[in-house]
Amino acid sequence: MFHNTCGRRGRFVRTIGMALAVSITMSGCSTVSDWFADEEELEIRQLKPIEAKFQPKLNWERDIGDGVEHYFSRLRPVYAYDKLYAADRHGAVVAMDPTTGKVIWQKNFAQFRDEGMMSSVTRLWRSGETARIGGIAVAEKLVFIGTENGYVAALDAESGELVWDATVPGEVLAAPAIDEGILVVNTGAGSLFGFRTRDGEQLWRHEGDTPPLTLRGISGPIASNGGAIIGTPTGKIQVNLIDSGVLAWETVIATPTGATELERIVDIDTTPILFGGTIYTVSYNGTLAAVELRTGRVIWKREYASFRNLTLDGNKIFVVDNNSNVYALDRRNGVELWSQSGLKLRSLTAATPVGEHVVVGDNWGFLHWIEQESGQIVARLDVGGDDEDDAIFAAPLEVDNTVVAVTRTGTVASVSISQ
């Protein structure tokens, strides 16, 4: 192990020559390990040349607020009712025209303290305390948000007017789900809630188990066929009846191993996929599985580790693992079709199917197009200005054959391709 001895070494240096050597090798109080770390980051940042098959084009970009900054977040725009709905962590919720990026309406959920007579004045120049929005979903002509402060709200999708709000004891770190007039909200405290979508009345609550140490995120629920489906921090897939919250079944996907709590993390920190009566999910510690919806029977398992959402197109399922390797598998049997390691360690987003490609964003603001059939990288575009502060942190969104990406600083960009 290398230790930083800057500041102590001077007591032991006795010659000018040695002092000069030390000043060169230890310049700026850096260590040899720091030098290797810098070299490694430089190598990761330097993209390998590709044989581009087309050139992506930026259609428009729009700043919608402060973004999510350096915080963990799964905030991702939603396309519905011919509008693009997006939010920033601080509190801005906007509806935009997906063709031009023009803002149709905007609502601010930033919190303000009551300061008496000066309250209305200070609101003119202060942005308020962050609302910490964690997820956004759209259905039934309503826009639903959940925050890390345990606040849940429904807005009119056309006007942005508040329809109802409620609170839950726990952080909402993922988008809620909607089916049969019920909003399903998962929290970091291990509790799952059901609210009536039209008025916000809480219909049920289900308490789950939470291990001593878990990942920061949670599984986003999906709601379909009368059930609410989530992954749990204990490595299970769980199905609750959506009308009552009663547990229908749960199946172990990942089993804890190792001597320490850190080694034993088995979180399913992703939103499951439901397709043709089969649930697909992946755990942080290395289990990708297909599970029968009706019974909870595991159909197949493979060893892939990820905290990013799976995506599916036709018979292909796409996985971006913990090291940012991209894989395509046959969803029917889990057989690997191809792998792409050319973007390794670039903190890729989940892979979004768009036409004949899947699109991923990375930690330096680039979008990359990968052919679904071959796994080759065939195009890329710098959306974030090659700046780590402008990383693309959430999976790109497909909107009418265009790609919508959002950066950490709150820039929403629309991109199209020309063959």
Average pLDDT of every residue of the chain: 86
> Structural domain boundaries of the chain?
1-46
C-alpha span between 348 and 419 (Å, rounded): 25
C-alpha distances in Å from residue 328, one per residue of 272, 375, 392: 17, 8, 21
Residue 372 confidence (pLDDT) above 60: yes
C-alpha span between 259 and 226 (Å, rounded): 40
Check residue 150 and give left, alpha or beta (phi > 0: left; psi -120 to 50: alpha): left
Q: What percent of the chain has pLDDT over 70?
A: 81
Check residue 170 and give left, alpha or beta (phi > 0: left; psi -120 to 50: alpha): left
**CB 84, CB 77: distance < 8 Å:** yes
Give the residue with greater pLDDT, 41 vs 152.
152
Give the residue with greater pLDDT, 71 vs 17.
71
C-alpha distances in Å from residue 332, one per residue of 271, 275, 288, 292, 371: 19, 11, 13, 12, 20
pLDDT per position as a tens digit, 320-366: 999 999 999 999 999 999 999 999 999 999 999 999 999 999 999 99
pLDDT band for 419, please (50, 70, 90 cuts).
low
β-pairing, 278-282 with 191-196? unpaired
C-alpha span between 245 and 313 (Å, rounded): 30
DSSP count for the chain of H helices, then E strands: 3, 32
Report the pLDDT averaged over residues 358-382.
97
Residue 145: what residue type?
I
Residue 244 confidence (pLDDT) above 90: yes
Q: Residue-wise over 183-216: b if at least 16 C-beta within 10 A, else e?
A: bbbbbbebbbbbbebeebeeebebebebbeebbe
**CB 248, CB 239: distance < 8 Å:** yes
What is the predicted pLDDT for the residue at 241? 97
pLDDT band for 8, please (50, 70, 90 cuts).
very low
Residue 293 confidence (pLDDT) above 60: yes
Residue 122 confidence (pLDDT) above 70: no
**CB 365, CB 383: distance < 8 Å:** yes
What is the distance between the terminal CA atoms of the chain, rounded to a whole angstrom?
A: 51
Helix (H) or strand (E) holding 411: strand 411-418
pLDDT per position as a tens digit, 177-220: 999 999 999 998 889 999 999 999 999 999 987 766 566 678 89
What is the predicted pLDDT for the residue at 21? 40
Quote the pTM value: 0.85
Give the residue with greater pLDDT, 9 vs 47.
47
pLDDT per position as a tens digit, 259-276: 777 666 778 889 999 999
